[in-house]
Amino acid sequence: MKNNFYIKVVLFFALMVIASSCKEDFLALTPQGTALEVNFYQTEDELFQGLVAVYDVLQWGGTSGWTMATGLANAASDDCYAGGSDASDQPSWVAYDDFSLTPTLGPQEGFWTKYYAGIYRANLILVKLDEAPLDISSSFKARIAAEAKFLRAYFYFDLVRYFGRVPLITEVLSPEAVNDVVQTTPAEIYAQVEADLKAAIAETELPESVPPSELGRITQGAAKALLGKVILYQNDDSRMSEAAGYFEDVIGSGFYDLESNFEDIFRLEKEFGTESVFEISYSGNKPGNFENGFASGPVNNPTEGNFNVQFFGMRNYVGQVYSSGWSFCPVATELADFMAGDPRMEHTIIDGNVLKAQGASYTEGFQNTDLFIKKYAPLESERALDGDVALAWGTNERVIRFADVLLMAAEALVRGGGDANAARGYVNQVRGRVGLTPIPASVSGSLLLDEIYKERRLELATEGHRFFDLVRTGQAPQVLPGFIAGKHEVLPIPLIEIDKTQGRITQNAGY
């Protein structure tokens, strides 16, 4: 059952009339209506609803098209293809898959709009906390501010990974000021991300854990894990011991552990389980349909559902266990070959040929391999009971798992010249969970690093990590067909943003 924290998203969303799809004011928009501007944010409940509105953006998967980060990252990697019904089904997904991206073709407009909407909301609630009535408790405000800063950091981290140079905005801008913004360097964006995360971690009101009624809210562990990841992604080996320190704080906290059985991680009953460090909650409790979303109107995230689930399912499926989907992200045969013999394979990949041999059927989609994502597959037992089922899958997204933290800690230790025995120990915890033999003590240095990267692919396959792992380790040009070094590490800047700022925002190299 979904908790009350995320149900409140639905109650507040109607009050937030901001730039979720407004092309004129993508970075900031003054709240509309005197009731919101003058009378709202006066109580703890109203301020909390403002925070929930920031969290709400994490769930968005339908901004300027279908822009689910996990699905698109899978398509861009060598784990999966784009898929769909045919090559014209979702051209932006195909463009990211084969790197035929242009300033007007690709997922960039949706990502840009989504993340700046989240940043606007985070900036707004931080302003409102400063202006809050004196009777609002300082401890309440401190925790809300820490969460808002985490979320702003999360949005900017994705922006810098997707685009490199982006505008840095930490205040609420007037509509007139929006068109005057310019890009800043990735280093400056990363510095802001780190500053926000360190501020969140330093806030003692940000808890180590939360009660069941608050599942989904940010914890110290989530902030430390994300900060370690942010440092890791900057590829400065001189800072790897710093990154390892944050990961080891999470590991040693006692609040997280590996699930006993790998197959349990993505089960409904294991949402916010012991392995979950940072998880995005979804819900089927807000019925929605295609008439109130995905058109040209002002609202294009019409439900609280996880659209990835519908995308990953088998098209026109008839059979047991699974529900029908749209056959996006068919799993590459190369991934299946790579995972052959690994105990995690059967819990990662659905073999359609096995299902057909058992009497099931489905329509073969574009780039069909008869292999499908299992971790987020649509299950018949979890179908929504109201609204369009395709828009209402309540499957949570596991953004940072404890296994990921262990593997990132191991990588940081090796790259930083740290304790190789500890690094092997972390990797062997992940391997041991599925009954694999430990990496021997004789494996160290670059050979150990190779084993860590191999383990990351096996453990985290189809969870949206692989593309960024290939980019940050410099392997993408050799592994991904069509990928051009110096260009495809980032997406093109949306042409509409360049036009709106009359060229003050400039295009990325190669586009």
Which domains does the chain possess? 4-67+107-218+489-500 (1.25.40.890), 236-277+401-473 (1.25.40.390)
H or E segment at 373? strand 371-373
Please give the average per-residue pLDDT across 78-90, as a whole number. Answer: 97
Determine contact, residues 453/441, Cβ cutoff 8 Å: no
Please give the average per-residue pLDDT across 228-236, as a whole number. Answer: 98
Q: What are phi and psi of 32, to 5 degrees?
A: -90, 135
18-32, 36-50, 71-85 — which is least confidently predicted?
18-32
Note the pLDDT tens digit of each residue in 306-325.
999 999 999 999 999 999 99
Q: Which pLDDT score, from 0 to 100, does residue 459 have?
A: 98
Please give the average per-residue pLDDT across 5-13, as a whole number. Answer: 37
Please give the average per-residue pLDDT across 265-288, as a whole number. Answer: 91
Percent of the chain with pLDDT over 70: 90
Give the chain's radius of gyration (CA, Å).
22
Determine contact, residues 454/411, Cβ cutoff 8 Å: no
Q: What are phi and psi of 9, to 5 degrees?
A: -55, -45
Please give the average per-residue pLDDT across 161-175, as a whole number. Answer: 94
Q: Is 26 helix (H, G, I), strand (E, B) or coil?
A: coil
Please give the average per-residue pLDDT across 86-91, as a whole number. Answer: 95
Note the pLDDT tens digit of each residue in 108-136.
999 999 999 999 999 999 999 999 999 99
Q: Which pLDDT score, from 0 to 100, does residue 19 have?
A: 33
Please give the average per-residue pLDDT across 178-207, as a whole number. Answer: 96
Q: Which pLDDT score, from 0 to 100, does residue 462 have?
A: 98
- Residue among 297, 494, 286 at smallest CA distance from 392: 286
Query: Residue 385: pLDDT band by 50, 70, 90 thresholds?
Result: confident
Q: Which pLDDT score, from 0 to 100, does residue 362 have?
A: 98
Please give the average per-residue pLDDT across 460-472, as a whole number. Answer: 98
Query: Residue 246: pLDDT band by 50, 70, 90 thresholds?
Result: very high
153-167, 181-195, 291-305 — which is least confidently predicted?
291-305
User: In whole numbers, what is the pLDDT of the chain averaged over residues?
Assistant: 91
**More confidently predicted of 300 and 23:** 300
Q: Which pLDDT score, from 0 to 100, does residue 301 have?
A: 79
Q: Which pLDDT score, from 0 to 100, does residue 387 have?
A: 66
Query: Partners of 318 in the beta sheet?
Result: 361
- Residue among 486, 410, 470 at smallest CA distance from 443: 410
Please give the average per-residue pLDDT across 224-246, as a whole number. Answer: 98
Q: Which pLDDT score, from 0 to 100, does residue 36 have?
A: 54
Residue that is written with structure tokens 């979890």 in the block: 382
* In the predicted structure, residue 23 carries a pLDDT above the cut 50: no
H, E, C per residue of 416-482: CCCCHHHHHHHHHHHHHHCCCCCCCCCCCHHHHHHHHHHHHHHHHCCCCCHHHHHHHCCCHHHHCCC
Q: What are phi and psi of 361, to 5 degrees?
A: -145, 155
Q: Is 219 helix (H, G, I), strand (E, B) or coil?
A: coil
pTM to 2 decimals? 0.92
Q: Which pLDDT score, from 0 to 100, does residue 4 have?
A: 44
Please give the average per-residue pLDDT across 176-186, as a whole number. Answer: 89
What gap in Å lies between CA 72 and CA 478, rounded to an integer? 20
129: which 2 tokens?
């906390």
Q: Which pLDDT score, from 0 to 100, does residue 12 have?
A: 35
- What's the one-letter identity of residue 331? V
Q: Is 372 helix (H, G, I), strand (E, B) or coil?
A: strand
Burial of 202 (0-12, 13-18, 19+ CB in 10 A): exposed
Please give the average per-residue pLDDT across 435-464, as a whole number. Answer: 98
Please give the average per-residue pLDDT across 335-340, as a whole number. Answer: 98
* In the predicted structure, residue 28 carries a pLDDT above the cut 60: no
